[in-house]
């Protein structure tokens, strides 16, 4: 089998790249190791920067997003019973959109299927060959049968544990990582959100986040120990702990109910350099991971897609390699800014096991400075809604 761009990974970044390329007449094949239902069953973040919204529009996949997405002009930050608002529209001129990553992925799958896009599911033993040559190809198995996909370029959208990053030789790539000493316990419940805006809470008991998917579906998180397991927490215990971490007036309005999903996510910052080796390009979690504080994971993957899609479009339109040659440099420049914001916001809002009394005082001082200083709020707002591509 032959295609122009082989895409490893059928998550949102791989599907978005495939759909955007299709709109420019560029062929692609997507290889996904799981089933469509499995991919759509993964619960992920749901705060979209305008850059991603515009890419969905360009991909022809934004109708449901605009109909069902919730515009957020700001966010609430609390510490103890104190709470203040950072206004995105005032400070950055644009809102974010709350629309679940699962729904983004569903819209992209529907678009690829409608367009007759080639997606292979349940692929195994994926291997990349000749990425540093002008004739790369991929071998893999489906139902035990060996297959080969010849291509011009390979986009590795297969996540942290995928084969793409590992294909780049160790003497070429360099990796940077920070492991945080806690996780997030999250639940999904069919209850109305406690507030119409997100609440990021710094509490002496640990961080909490009140989020939502829609008017009757809420997503809540609390900071927890890495040794905790979801089954350690009953729904009742979760709700009681959440109430202790958010301001009393918000806790009084919290509507509780049975969880329909419960999971724990560890937090890490990770970047690999470079994001290109020969004709192999890394996108999204294959190249970088951010803590979920600030919702940069999917959005940073989208910016990778933006740079790669435009570079490939230039190549097929007029033979120019400028875009693909500068891909890694451009993508990484924005990635590191997103990493910095996620690291800063995580440091501001969480309790760390080695924090001294001085450290805690500095954290409160930083929060109060953010509360009172318009320049600090502007910097936060610009990073939260997304830096320009």
Residues with Cβ < 8 Å from 349, sequence gap 6 or more?
77, 200, 201, 202, 207, 293
Q: Which two tokens stand for residue 217?
A: 């579906």
Catalytic residue among 296, 306, 330, 350: 296
CA separation, residue 88 to residues 61, 193, 246, 341 (Å): 25, 20, 22, 15
Q: Which two tokens stand for residue 144?
A: 């035990």
What is the rounded CA–CA span in Å between residue 339 and residue 272? 12
Catalytic residue among 12, 95, 247, 292: 292
Q: Which two tokens stand for residue 192?
A: 């109305």
Percent helix, strand, coil in the chain (nearest 5)? 40, 30, 30
Calculated CA dihedral for residues 109, 16, 131, 167, nearest 10 degrees: -80
What is the rounded CA–CA span in Å between residue 77 and residue 285? 28
| 296 tagged catalytic | yes
Number of helices followed by number of strands (H, E) in the chain: 14, 20
What is the rounded CA–CA span in Å between residue 48 and residue 260? 23
Catalytic residue among 109, 180, 200, 221: 200
| Distance from the first to the final alpha carbon of the chain | 34
What is the rounded CA–CA span in Å between residue 323 and residue 55? 17
What is the rounded CA–CA span in Å between residue 348 and residue 369? 12
What is the rounded CA–CA span in Å between residue 102 and residue 106? 6
What is the rounded CA–CA span in Å between residue 235 and residue 258? 6
| 266 tagged catalytic | no
Catalytic residue among 72, 91, 288, 330: 72
Catalytic residue among 99, 309, 327, 384: 384
DSSP 255-317: PP--EEEEEEEEEEEEEEE-SEETTEEE-GGGTEE--STTS-HHHHHHHHHHHHHHHHHHHHH
| 204 tagged catalytic | no
For the annotated catalytic residues, the residue numbers are 72, 200, 292, 296, 384
């Amino acid at each position: 089998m032959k295609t122009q761009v082989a895409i490893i990974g059928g998550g949102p970044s791989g599907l978005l790249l495939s759909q955007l390329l299709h709109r420019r007449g560029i062929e692609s094949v997507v290889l996904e190791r799981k089933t469509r239902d499995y991919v759509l069953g993964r619960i992920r973040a749901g705060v979209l920067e305008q850059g991603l919204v515009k890419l969905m529009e360009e991909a022809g996949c934004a109708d449901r997003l605009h109909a069902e997405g919730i515009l957020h002009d700001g966010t609430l930050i609390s510490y103890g019973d104190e709470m203040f608002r950072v206004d995105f529209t005032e400070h950055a001129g644009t809102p974010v959109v709350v629309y679940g990553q699962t729904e983004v992925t569903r819209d992209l799958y529907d678009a690829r299927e409608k367009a007759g896009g080639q997606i292979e599911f349940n692929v195994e033993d994926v291997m990349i060959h000749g990425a540093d040559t002008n004739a790369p190809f991929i071998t893999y198995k489906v139902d035990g049968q060996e297959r080969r996909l010849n291509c011009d370029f390979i986009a590795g959208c297969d996540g942290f544990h995928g084969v793409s990053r590992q294909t780049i030789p160790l003497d070429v790539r360099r990796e940077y990582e920070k492991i945080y000493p806690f996780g997030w316990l999250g639940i999904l419940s069919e209850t109305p959100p406690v507030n119409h805006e997100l609440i990021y809470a710094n509490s002496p008991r640990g961080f909490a986040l009140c989020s939502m998917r829609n008017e009757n579906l809420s997503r809540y998180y609390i900071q927890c120990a890495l040794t905790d397991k979801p089954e350690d927490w009953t729904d009742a215990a979760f709700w009681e702990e959440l109430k202790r971490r958010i301001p009393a007036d918000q806790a009084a309005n919290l509507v509780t109910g049975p969880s329909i999903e419960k999971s724990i996510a560890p937090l890490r910052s990770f970047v690999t350099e470079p994001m290109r080796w020969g004709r192999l390009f890394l996108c999204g979690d294959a190249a970088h991971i951010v803590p979920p504080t600030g919702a940069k994971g999917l959005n940073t993957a989208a910016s990778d897609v933006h740079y790669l899609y435009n570079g490939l479009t230039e190549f097929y339109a007029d033979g120019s390699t400028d875009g693909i040659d500068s891909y890694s440099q451009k993508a990484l420049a924005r990635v590191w800014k997103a990493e910095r914001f996620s690291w800063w916001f995580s440091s501001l809002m969480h309790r760390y096991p080695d924090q001294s009394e001085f450290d805690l005082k500095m954290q409160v001082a930083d929060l109060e400075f953010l509360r009172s200083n318009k320049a600090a709020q502007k910097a936060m707002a610009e990073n939260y809604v997304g830096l320009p591509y």
